[in-house]
Chains A and B, each alone.
Chain A
């Protein structure tokens, strides 16, 4: 389990990174946290000819927050979210989600952006980005573009990023007053990839849901936002009966995958449970 040979470059600036990406395209890989890439390389499942280490690009290591939301730079580690990065429900939710990502030492290295670029369907950040309608900023020598999260994931380990593009930033909309969130994940052991998880965010006004976000992950080839069910939540009080109904409809709406850890039938039931528990937490 030793990686195949590669050329290693550690550029000092973003423009150098983009130039290298433009030059090597599919022959290269970006090394940020490396917590998914390096295992794949050790198993020789990934054999990039060139590895571009972006860990020295300090300009990518930031979290900024303003009224419109949170902007997360490509070098932001999972551990940055251990403590709330922004006051209010968003920071608290990100902190709770982060504690479910793998384990403490992995979170010291792995990055938010790397999780999205890797596009593992069981990734917590992919669920967060999908459910909250994140925007993805990609840069290349050709310029910069913003990708709506709905257009970003193409499937397991597959995204809309071009070979010469670097995911530089993620923008999460703010969750201001009245928002409440709930997150529930089930995995075989603490820290394992989710067999099923759900994220809910509800904005209440006088006890009535005015906006809703609901997503599930770990179920199929990408995280899924359940827009129809969100619409059904709006205007109601997110009562236990309503939550049961939504959970059942979530159950009916997904077509889960099977693997050695979970049958499709079991995953489908987990979706219902995760949705029920995430909504119950948000509505509590």
Chain B
């Protein structure tokens, strides 16, 4: 086994001290070393987007980054999306609009949408659809996912910005 590297990872505002081989993907480190299994692994080659997390506020495929690369970065995962018991508007919109069935792709879609809407809150419905084509869902046919994100985007826009 290759030697391990000790690093601190900042995930959802909490520091995790981990000792990892450099070859471990960020997705595996989050799941196995940080115990945050909300980030799902669907393809490990960057296509399905189930493992999407935010690194320094940008949505990225965590299967295409190594854990060691995330040292010093602010990582956000689905576990950090809700505010205590209050669901994030995206989570609420997915729930109200039946935007999930099996729920496996859901964390990836939520983090993708959360990251993109923070960077670009004024996206049109078409732009939202274009971004959502980044991730795969096998259950819903996307209709309700797109609808949920569009609705949440409107709600987020209506909020006072900080």
B23 touches which of A6, A10, A53, A190 (Cβ 8 Å): A6
Could you tell me the dominant secondary structure of chain B's interface residues? mixed
Contact-residue bracket for chain A: 20 to 34
Question: 6 A-B residue contacts at CB 8 Å?
Answer: A6-B2, A42-B25, A55-B69, A79-B58, A106-B64, A109-B64
Q: Interface of B with A (CB < 8 Å)?
A: 1-2, 5, 21-23, 25, 28, 44-46, 49, 52, 58-61, 63-66, 68-69, 112, 116, 130-131, 133-134
- Given contact pairs A103-B133, A191-B134, A108 touches B2 in the complex (Cβ within 8 A): no
A residues adjacent to B (C-beta < 8 A): 1-8, 10, 31, 34-35, 38-39, 41-43, 51, 53, 55, 79, 99, 103-106, 108-109, 189-191
In whole angstroms, what is the CA distance A2 to B65 when docked? 12
- Determine the chain A residues whose CB is within 8 A of the CB of B22 once the complex forms: 6-8, 51
A10 to B66 CA separation, bound complex (whole angstroms): 12
A105/B44 contact (C-beta < 8 A), A4-B23, A6-B2, A39-B64 known: no
| A190 in complex: contacting residue of B45, B66, B133, CB < 8 Å | B133
Q: Knowing that A8-B5, A38-B64, A38-B65 are A-B contacts, what are 15 other residue pairs whose CB atoms are under 8 Å apart, sorted by A's residue number?
A: A2-B25, A5-B23, A7-B2, A8-B23, A10-B69, A34-B66, A35-B64, A38-B63, A42-B45, A42-B63, A55-B69, A104-B59, A104-B134, A108-B60, A191-B133
Query: Is there an interface contact between B134 and A103, defined as CB atoms closer than 8 Å?
Result: yes
Q: Which residues of chain B have C-beta atoms less than 8 A from A191's C-beta?
A: 133-134
User: Bound complex: CA of A185 vs CA of B134, how far in Å?
Assistant: 18
Q: Which residues of B contact A39 (CB under 8 A)?
A: 44-46, 64
Q: Is the CB of B133 within 8 A of A105?
A: no
